[in-house]
Structure 1
Amino acid sequence: MLKTEGLEKIRLVAGKGGLDKIINWVHVIEVPEVVDWVEGGELLLITGVTIQDNKEALLKLVRDINGKRLSGLVINVGPYIKKTPDEVIELANSLNFPVFELPFEVKLIGITHIICREIFSSKIQQESMNSFMNELIFGEDVINDVAIDRAVKYGYDIEKNYYAIIVEIDDFNEYLQRNNIGKEEKIIEAKQHILKIIDTVMKNCNEKYMYMTVSDSFYLMIEVDKNANYTDFISEIARRISEDISKNINNLTVSIGIGEKACTLSEFRSAALEAKNAVEISKRLYGKNSMGDCRKLGVYKLFLGIENVDIMLKIYNEKLGKLKSNEKSSSNELLNSLEIYIDENRNIGNAAERLFIHRNTMKYRINKIEEILECDLKDDKTMFNIMLCLKIGRFLGLN
């Protein structure tokens, strides 16, 4: 708002920490019982005609509208409220609730028109980009010059490469229920808050991006220079997004998938779908609040393409079924030991250290596993099959 043409005379006086709040609408309301007329997310404008110089009333107003989760307060300073009292500034700063001043000669009706126009324009632009990105990633149309020209209007640069990231809200319905969020506009507001956090991370990283929202997921195509390796940097951006969302929104986490690099607009689809696969696999393997990179998922990508889960289950049971049956009452101790043993390249000493057990105990467990499975864990072919089955078990949630 502060950077919008026509609003240059609005001056922030308190609550700088709340400048990331989303403005859903604007209201000019002078009655003391403001909370009865608002729903949250609005920017409130007042002249103070009913408050006058009543400092306590202004303090109560700030407390009330902050409690109702309004976006901020604009005081039309002049004959009724000559300036924002220090006590109000102190309160707003403690609440991270933005309070602004506007000279009295500036008419509020003009301010509301400008802000509402920007809100409508932003929504139209977002819906338009959403529609275009949906066609691009999920549609069947061939990419042609017309599509490229449209993409350029949304910020696409043919001289750049793009990395796909999907940010998926974990258990969003549960979050909405816990916070008594039922109205559609409040659900949209919650998603807008997440999108604002993502945008802040991208700006802090000086990265341009295109995006769309699909259900509880945000698809991002992040612009990078050609002929440069951005693998670690993209992972760092994903990590920051996850951490900042958890830090700024209580009891909400996201899982993130990183896709392949798209060198052309026609590769956006495959890059985004790789990111979608990555987030699905990472949630299967590690649960919510996880991050998966399609370049590091290896054989798990093959599992996702197998529609008949019974085939995988049969392979698993043939190789590890006996061990699983043997451990119904022992908390998968042998299975866990087997995984650690493989992770440590079949080094009994290192595996024992990771499990905090004696070397002889580890050796006993390996012998017990070989006895149950009737196999030799020193045989490479046997180990390949067992490793494959362990991955199947983790993918299916059996281990």
Structure 2
Amino acid sequence: MNKHMNLFNEQIQKTKIEYGTSSLPVSDVLKIPIFKGCKLISGESGISKQCKDLTILETPDGVDWLRGGEFLVSSGYAFKDNKEKYDDIIYKLHQKGVSAFGIKRNRYLKIIPEKMIEQSCKYSLPLILLPFELIYTDAVSQFYEALFYKKNKYLLEQKSILEKFNNIIINGENTQQIVEFIAMLTDSSVLIFDCVYNLISKSVNSSQHELIIEKIIDNISKFYEVNSNKQIQIDNVYINKHEIKNRDKTLGYFIRIGDNPEDKVLRKTINYGCWIISSKMVNNVGDHFNNLKIKKMVTEIIMNKDNLSKSFFLNIREIFQWTDKDKFVGICFHFLYNDSMKNKINDYKKQFYDIILIRILDKNGFLITEKHDNVFVLFPLRDNILQDIKKKVQILYKSWKDEISISYGISDKYTDFIYIKNMYYESMISAIFPTNNLIAKNDSLRFAKIIGLLEDNKELYDSYDSVISKLEDYDSKHNAMLLETLKMYLICNMNKKYTSDKLFIHAETLRYRLNKIKEITGYSLNTSEGIFMLYMGIIIYEVQKSN
């Protein structure tokens, strides 16, 4: 709770600083009582310009002292002896950044020159005819009273908003309730997406917004490249995209749909709401992981126990609501990373679990197991779920910026999930060598059967296994990376430059390691026999590691 209160006080202080230098648009200045009876002559397009000060101009050199952002008022006394100066006064005021220029009626300037009016329109600088009886001291006093009121109004609004948010935190509202509250508070519709644009929550404010939301969801890929905090318009409706972050990591996106553009209070309200939603998203991951543990336990039972009863499998079907018409597929996700990323890999996997598995697969149910750097999932093929997974994995992978690589392999389709072992081996082998073209893609799905045959032929199996064992022993004794280098070299389709880049090593270091592999195993990667022996050895090694 102290953490939330500290943030609350910090936001109040930031608001005080920000609105300490507030301003009023010209349109609001003209609503101040003292300016009743004023007439806007020209320059209407600049009516929204902001006025930070109200300044009196009654000396010829007064223009030189202007700093910009002034609502300038004058009786024309400064130019009474040199009326030609009126011809370029608007241009000079524009150069100085003045927001508006008011001239008293029937004082020293009886008729407003046509050139002033033309320049006022050209430079969008509002030209205003002031009442003859306007008193400067009253105008200055009322202007700064209005400015002071606006500053405090913003402060009070912001304080009220932050207090309401803190009540939400105290009451423990869920994400949907928070989203509905923000939508009500900002008079907007709100969409919440995770970082790969799975829709998490929404609150719709109007039927017009509903149509816009349908367009956004149907064309969500177009929003991938929209910069955060950038405002766009569709059918006269304003759309803003904000990042939901936890530390430096992007957890998702807040999209606001409203009838008015964002102002400072709206933006601060949304920023604070995003902070609370990010806290909820982080906490929800823990709840999801408890459910994953149960799924992993069930998967391990199916994978490792023979002769399970029919009632056991029927119960699984009933829990996940799988039908006899469902066809199943397995995907193995293979994570690749160097030693420097070992401490971070679990954080990446948690994000992967939450975004890819739970948000996409949970609605149809799935089984999951994890072996070392392989994550295997089994699920029914429904709708376009495979295409959705592939697309979202690509988005997530891009956000990782090559710190962690991920490849995946997909098994053949099966009529029942009891064939989970087949799907496991098929997808795992396909994931380990996703880009290798030594064998056809369809043939890689048959490698599970080949591995089974090799396990029955101990002499042949051991001959392949011993090749890799020699590299494993050498790595252990000399703290080398020959086995990892061989694996990456095959994954990279024996492309030396790509392999060096992936391993973050010099080309000469790679050449040395490949020569060392040849020296230790007796097989060269420059011969078909050597490629086959080392390739099969790696496959057997990966199968053993995953068991």
Greater relative contact order (CA < 8 Å, ≥ 6 in sequence): 1
TM band (smaller chain)? 0.3 to 0.5
Instruction: Name the TM-score, length of structure 1 as normaliser.
Output: 0.45
> Which of the pair has more CA radius of gyration?
2
Instruction: Name the TM-score, length of structure 2 as normaliser.
Output: 0.34
Q: Which has the higher helix share?
A: 2
